């Protein structure tokens, strides 16, 4: 059985292996021991903190295969971005150049440097090892976070965003960054990406163009990838879109990948979730598979299992109850692993 739980200090080697496998462009997991250990320590502190509102807490989860104790994936939630370090984006807007006398009207796309998402919650650091990409593992590792946010709403913002990895080749070269590098920077994309990942962001404010950029002035290759995602990121984007996330024209400043957003109450898994006390038993064979979390924070656990709603209780198996660390009468929050209806 796959169980999702908070990361622990003993998971460092597994997290390091995931960081290596994730490759260039996965900014939130650079291959840097000090930073990865700090991420784990920061997450442990967040899970054990008493919080009344979203702050700089960073919650990092892992997916563990209970058959062998193997950690096969990770995903995270940043309670409020941009409170310690500036959180940068480009916003794709338009400006009109018109002359009534000459009967000329041109509507031009521009990129404006901004910090508009400061203070919102971000779902981030999602990566599942190739060996575990089967069944519903990928969906579960992504979507359970919406149950956690719903259950512990006081810890998070009403707005949730996700940054999607933009287009780059097998060597990590980004067409969008290549244009920026040529005109404003003297470092390649992997270096800029790595520096951002380890928290060294000062160079962005120092070197990034301060004024809006006319998209038509970019290379054709750079223009073509604005708002587009990496091939390996398409499934993650489709999943978020099925949950109700939409792009409002914000893109990453390095690779121009889109950022999507949704209000918590509009996220399907959060909106359609139920919270009920548990009855330990044997669900009916026709009972639907659900993603289920307990209501704990520091001892949070999540599984995919059959749930039978019987009047005002949720019937789950003894194996699932044990994996969740709960007993008869304890509460769970659950939602279908596959979205149906509204």
Shared domain for 187 and 229, answered yes or no, is yes
Q: State how far the Cα of 81 lies from the Cα of 70, in Å rounded to an integer.
A: 31
Nearest to residue 310, comparing CAs of 262, 256, 274? 274
Shared domain for 284 and 248, answered yes or no, is no
Residue 143 buriedness (CB in 10 A; 0-12 / 13-18 / 19+): buried
Shared domain for 214 and 295, answered yes or no, is no
Is 221 in contact with 175 (CB distance < 8 Å)? yes
Domain stop point among 268, 290, 312:
268
CATH of the domain at 6: 3.40.630.30
Indicate the pTM of the whole model: 0.91
Position 180 in a domain: yes
- pLDDT for the residue 151: 98
301 CB neighbour count, 10 Å cutoff: 20
Position 155 in a domain: yes
Shared domain for 331 and 250, answered yes or no, is no
Q: What is the dihedral of CA 258, 263, 266, 270, to 10 degrees?
A: 100
Shared domain for 61 and 190, answered yes or no, is yes
Shared domain for 85 and 54, answered yes or no, is yes
* Mean pLDDT (the chain, rounded): 91
Shared domain for 240 and 181, answered yes or no, is yes
**Does the active-site annotation cover 230?**
yes
Position 96 in a domain: no
Q: State how far the Cα of 227 lies from the Cα of 90, in Å rounded to an integer.
A: 10
Domain that holds residue 287: 272-336
Position 110 in a domain: no
CATH of the domain at 310: 2.40.40.20
Instruction: Kindly report, residue by residue over 64-116, the tens digit of the pLDDT.
Output: 999 999 999 999 999 999 998 889 899 999 999 999 999 999 999 999 999 99
Domain stop point among 249, 268, 287:
268
Position 39 in a domain: yes
Long-range own/partner contacts, residues 305-314 (CB < 8 A, 24 or more apart)? 307/283, 307/332, 307/334, 308/283, 308/284, 309/274, 309/276, 310/279, 312/276, 312/277, 313/276, 313/277, 313/278, 313/279, 314/274, 314/276, 314/277, 314/278, 314/279
* β partners of residue 305: 290
Shared domain for 306 and 174, answered yes or no, is no
Shared domain for 280 and 261, answered yes or no, is no
Choose, from 16, 183, 230, 266, the residue flagged as catalytic: 230
Q: State how far the Cα of 26 lies from the Cα of 124, in Å rounded to an integer.
A: 10
Shared domain for 207 and 228, answered yes or no, is yes
Position 101 in a domain: no
Those residues of the chain that have pLDDT short of 70 are 24-27, 189, 193-194, 197-201, 340-342
Q: Please count the structural domains in the chain.
A: 2
Position 312 in a domain: yes
Domain stop point among 218, 246, 268:
268
Shared domain for 64 and 157, answered yes or no, is yes
Torsions phi, psi for 274 (to 5 deg)? -120, 150
Shared domain for 69 and 158, answered yes or no, is yes
User: In which region does residue 126 sit, left (phi positive, over 0), alpha (psi from -120 to 50) or beta (all else)?
Assistant: beta
Position 108 in a domain: no
- pLDDT for the residue 198: 61
Q: State how far the Cα of 145 lies from the Cα of 1, in Å rounded to an integer.
A: 18
């Amino acid at each position: 059985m796959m169980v999702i739980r908070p990361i622990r200090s003993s998971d460092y080697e597994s997290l390091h292996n995931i960081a290596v496998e994730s490759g260039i462009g996965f900014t939130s997991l650079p291959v840097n021991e000090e930073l990865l250990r700090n991420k784990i320590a920061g997450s442990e502190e967040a899970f054990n903190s008493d919080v009344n509102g979203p702050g700089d807490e960073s919650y990092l989860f892992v997916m563990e295969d209970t058959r062998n104790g193997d950690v096969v994936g990770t995903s995270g939630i940043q309670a409020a971005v941009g409170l310690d370090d500036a959180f940068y984006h480009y916003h794709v807007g338009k400006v009109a150049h018109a002359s009534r006398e000459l009967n000329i009207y041109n509507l031009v796309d521009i990129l404006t440097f901004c910090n508009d998402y400061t203070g919102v919650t971000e779902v981030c650091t999602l990566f599942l090892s190739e060996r575990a990409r089967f069944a519903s593992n990928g969906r579960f590792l992504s979507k359970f976070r919406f149950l956690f946010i719903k259950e512990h709403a006081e810890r998070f913002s009403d707005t949730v965003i996700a940054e999607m990895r933009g287009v780059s080749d097998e060597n990590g070269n980004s067409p969008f960054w290549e244009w920026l590098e040529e005109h404003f920077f003297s470092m390649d994309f992997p270096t800029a990406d790595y520096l951002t990942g380890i928290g060294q962001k000062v160079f962005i404010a120092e070197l990034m163009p301060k004024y809006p950029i006319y998209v038509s002035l970019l290379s054709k290759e750079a223009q073509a990838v604005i708002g587009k995602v990496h091939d390996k990121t398409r499934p993650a984007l489709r999943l978020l879109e099925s949950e109700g996330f939409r792009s409002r024209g914000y893109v990453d400043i390095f690779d121009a990948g889109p950022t999507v957003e949704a209000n918590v109450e509009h996220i399907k898994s959060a909106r359609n979730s139920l919270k009920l006390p548990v009855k330990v038993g044997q669900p009916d064979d026709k009972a639907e598979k659900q993603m289920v979390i307990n209501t704990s924070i520091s001892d949070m656990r999540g599984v995919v299992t059959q749930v039978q709603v019987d009047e005002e209780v949720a019937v789950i198996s003894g194996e699932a109850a044990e994996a969740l660390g709960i007993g008869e009468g304890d509460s769970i929050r659950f939602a279908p692993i596959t979205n149906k209806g509204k």
